[in-house]
Amino acid sequence: MKDEPYEVPEDEKALCWASIVQAISILSRLQKGLWRGEIRDLKAVVKHALGSGNVELSDVPEPVPGPDEVKIEVKAVGICGSDIHIYHGDIQLPIRPPVVMGHEFCGVIAEVGSSVSKFKPGERVTSETSAYVCGSCLSCRTGNYNVCADKRLIGYWFNGAFAKYCVVPSRLVHRLPENVSFLSGALCEPLACCVNGVIEKTAISPGDVVVVAGPGTIGLLSLQLVKAKGGFVMLCGTGVDGNRLNLGRELGADVTVNIHEQDPVEVMSGLTDGAGADVFIECSGSPDAVRMGFQLVRRGGRYTQIGLTGSAFELDFDTVAYKELTVKGSLGQRWTSWRRGLKLLAEGVIRTEPLISDVLPLTEWMTGFRKMEHREGLKVILEPVL
Ligand SMILES: [Zn+2]
Ligand SMILES: [Zn+2]
């Protein structure tokens, strides 16, 4: 019997091709650096191998942009909850170590590739994270590249922003509005995620009663977006969220509920004459919050899932039929979410700076990770002042 020739699937070919292009670009960088004697090492927070831990502050070569790439001097970069998951090796998105972590950032353009005409050095910018998408699947062709099955992200697959410089494809770059500080700008990425979930995926009308579950970064940005749409917000958290619920009230929450002290079903019943919430937005990633959402939302209401629980759990899904719920999911962000988020930041409709609890030098990344892990403070920003 003859061996069947192995057919390489199309998506693997595309990824292979992307790797070849990257290898050529790395070679040309090496050449350039060697010729000019310019290769310098940068300190960067690197995930060296899959599994738990394996993260260190290491020396990496200073990146050089390829023809259609932009090199950004990082001014501020946020530690995301998913960075903690990358640290522990318990996230389902593809990671390719050794890789510089960090994906929530902004800075100043240091250099542009030979075919980049839209941007120039000195411009203040921020960047999307989907450095590779296939471009040919139904999701990509309909603008929903955030759910492209082959999506590969900076900080996961491609080198990210926990370093002084980060190189990204020019199509990912957005200008930072003049009145938006670098610190505020570091939260553009989580804001765009919330714009996708709250504005683009969930229908909210003025006067809607909306529950936002989980007063972390995503919840506090989502709450502001609901307020911008004219909704009435009940923000829910647990016993450890006291400060975050207070901040939620400052940022516009109409009612806050510590579910360890008050029964949210009772509070909602009082607010809506027993009807329930028009909309429930889940930002905590807790199975209990999901189950609570199915209870709190009214018949004919809308439910949107932004949080990730990380594993399967028990849920009475018949509620969707009995209550005729509209259930939506939201993952990452698209170009439209960035555009809208940046406009809302520029207009001062959304405030990101109050969410920043700590600003640390990049060298103290471990302290930052520890704070995020133990829920001390809220958003920790690193500054690569090296
Ligand atoms: Zn993030
Ligand atoms: Zn695709």
CA of 54 to the centre of ligand 1 (A): 20
**Would you state the pLDDT for residue 386?**
59
**Would you state the pLDDT for residue 202?**
97
CA of 105 to the centre of ligand 1 (A): 10
**Would you state the pLDDT for residue 9?**
56
CA of 52 to the centre of ligand 1 (A): 19
The pair of three-digit structure tokens given for residue 252, joined into one six-digit string: 């516009």
CA of 103 to the centre of ligand 1 (A): 6
**Would you state the pLDDT for residue 19?**
61
349 touches 228 (CB < 8 A)? yes
Q: Which DSSP symbol is given to 152?
A: B
CA of 17 to the centre of ligand 2 (A): 15
CA of 342 to the centre of ligand 1 (A): 16
CA of 334 to the centre of ligand 2 (A): 13
Opening angle at CA 115, ends 113 and 117, nearest 5 = 95
**Would you state the pLDDT for residue 365?**
97
pLDDT tens across the length of the chain (386 residues): 444 555 555 555 555 555 665 565 555 555 544 444 455 789 999 999 999 999 999 999 999 999 999 999 999 999 999 999 999 998 889 999 999 999 999 999 999 999 999 999 999 999 999 999 999 999 999 999 999 999 999 999 999 999 999 999 999 999 999 999 999 999 999 999 999 999 999 999 999 999 999 999 999 999 999 999 999 999 999 999 999 999 999 999 999 999 999 999 999 999 999 999 999 999 999 999 999 999 999 999 999 999 998 889 999 999 999 999 999 999 999 999 999 999 999 999 999 999 999 999 999 999 999 999 998 989 999 999 85
d(CA 188, CA 332): 12
DSSP H or E segment with residue 344: helix 335-346
CA of 205 to the centre of ligand 1 (A): 28
**Would you state the pLDDT for residue 15?**
57
**Would you state the pLDDT for residue 157?**
98
**Would you state the pLDDT for residue 371?**
95
CA of 142 to the centre of ligand 1 (A): 23
Output b/e per residue, 339-371; b: 16+ Cβ within 10 A: ebbbebbeeeebbbeebbbbebebebbeebbeb
Task: Indicate yes or no: pTM above 0.85.
Answer: yes
The helix-helix angle for 217-228 and 242-250 (nearest 10°) equals: 20
Distance of CA 309 to the CA centre of its chain: 15
CA of 183 to the centre of ligand 1 (A): 15
Bridge partners, 94 (sequence order): none
Q: Which listed ligand is nearest to 161 at the C-alpha?
A: 1
CA of 102 to the centre of ligand 1 (A): 8
**Residue 214, exposed/middle/buried by CB under 10 A (0-12, 13-18, 19+)?**
buried
Domains of the chain: 39-190+334-343+353-383 (3.90.180.10), 202-329 (3.40.50.720)
CA of 335 to the centre of ligand 2 (A): 14
123 touches 174 (CB < 8 A)? no
Q: Which DSSP symbol is given to 183?
A: H
CA of 79 to the centre of ligand 1 (A): 7
